[in-house]
Amino acid sequence: MSPEKSRHIPDNVQSYNNFALIYDQIALSRNHYERQANAVCDTFEVLGVSKSARILDASCGTGAVVNLLQGSGFEQVKGSDGSSCLLALSGGERSIQQVLWRDLGDAGRGDVDAIFFAGHSLPHAEASELPQIFAAAYDRLAPGGWIIFDMRNWVETEAGLREPNRATGIFEPLPEILVNEKRLWLAHRCDYDKDRQKITYRYGGGDYSQSLDNGFDEILLEYSVFSRHSACSWLKAAGFDEPKELSIPNWSYLFIAAQKPTDRER
C-alpha cells in the first residue's frame, strides 16, 4: 500500500491522540457511549448474537462501550483501537489492546464471533482500504461470525453523496465542555472534498465570541463518503454472505452486518 493511499488513517489516529480528552468529554456530555452500547445490543439481538459470544469492539476508543456491554451481560467482550491516547483513558484494562484495522487478522484467527465498528468510525479509513479491512475481519472471525458497522445514511445530491440537513462551510457552536476542571467552548464545521467529509473542531478557553482574540486549538477529522451498495459489494468480495441493512431505533446511523459462512473458507 503506497503512502499516498494510507495517509488518512495515521492523520486521523494522530488527531484522536491530540483530541482524546476532549473527544471523551464530548461523548460523555451527549450520553454517546450509553446510546452506542444500547444500539449495539439491539443489533446483537436482531442478529442472534448471544451473550456468551466472543465479541471484539474494533473501534473501542476509551473502552467505555466495552465496559457497558460487559455490564449488560456480554462477558466475553474485548476492545481494540488505533489511538494510544484514547486507549490510555481506559485505565489499562487488560481486555483492550492497540491494533490497527488492517492488522485485525494478524492479531488472532477464528477467535471472535462478532466484530463491530460503531459510532461511524469505520469511514475514518480510506474507501480504497475497506476491502483489506473487511478481509482482515473475515480472517479474524470464526465461521458463522458477524462483522457489524454503522455509517451515515448519505443522500445523493448534485455534488455527490452528502449528509442530509447539515450546513457546510460555517462554524457552529456546540455546548461547552469541562476538561481537567477547565471550561472550554467548542465549535465545528463540515466541509467536503470530493469523496471525503471533513469535520473541523475548534476549542479554547474564555468566550467563544472572542475566540479569534483569545486563541484556539483546531483538530481535523476526515471520513470517507461511500454508498451502502459499495460497502455491501466489498463485504461480499471478502467472502461474507449477503449483507443486511439495519435501522436501529434511537440511533442516527445505519448498521450494516454480514456473516462469515459456516461451510467454507475464503
Residue 188 and residue 145 share a domain: no
Structural domain harbouring 243: 3-153+226-259
Is 266 exposed, middle or buried, given 0-12, 13-18 or 19+ CB atoms closer than 10 A?
exposed
DSSP class of 227: -
Residue 116 and residue 27 share a domain: yes
DSSP letters spanning 106-132: GG-SS-EEEEEE-SS-GGGS-GGGHHH
Residue 235 and residue 200 share a domain: no
Share of the chain above pLDDT 70, in %: 94
Residue 241 and residue 115 share a domain: yes
pLDDT tens for residues 58-67? 999 999 999 9
What pLDDT was estimated at residue 213?
A: 73
Please tell me the pTM assigned to this model.
0.92
| Within-domain flag for 264 | no
| Within-domain flag for 102 | yes
Q: Structurally, how many domains does the chain consist of?
A: 2
266 grid coordinates? 475464503
Residue 96 and residue 189 share a domain: no
Residue 123 and residue 209 share a domain: no
Tell whether the model's pLDDT for residue 20 goes beyond 60: yes
Q: What is the mean pLDDT of the chain?
A: 91
CATH number for the domain spanning 11: value is 3.40.50.150
Residue 193 and residue 95 share a domain: no
pLDDT tens for residues 101-113? 989 988 788 999 9
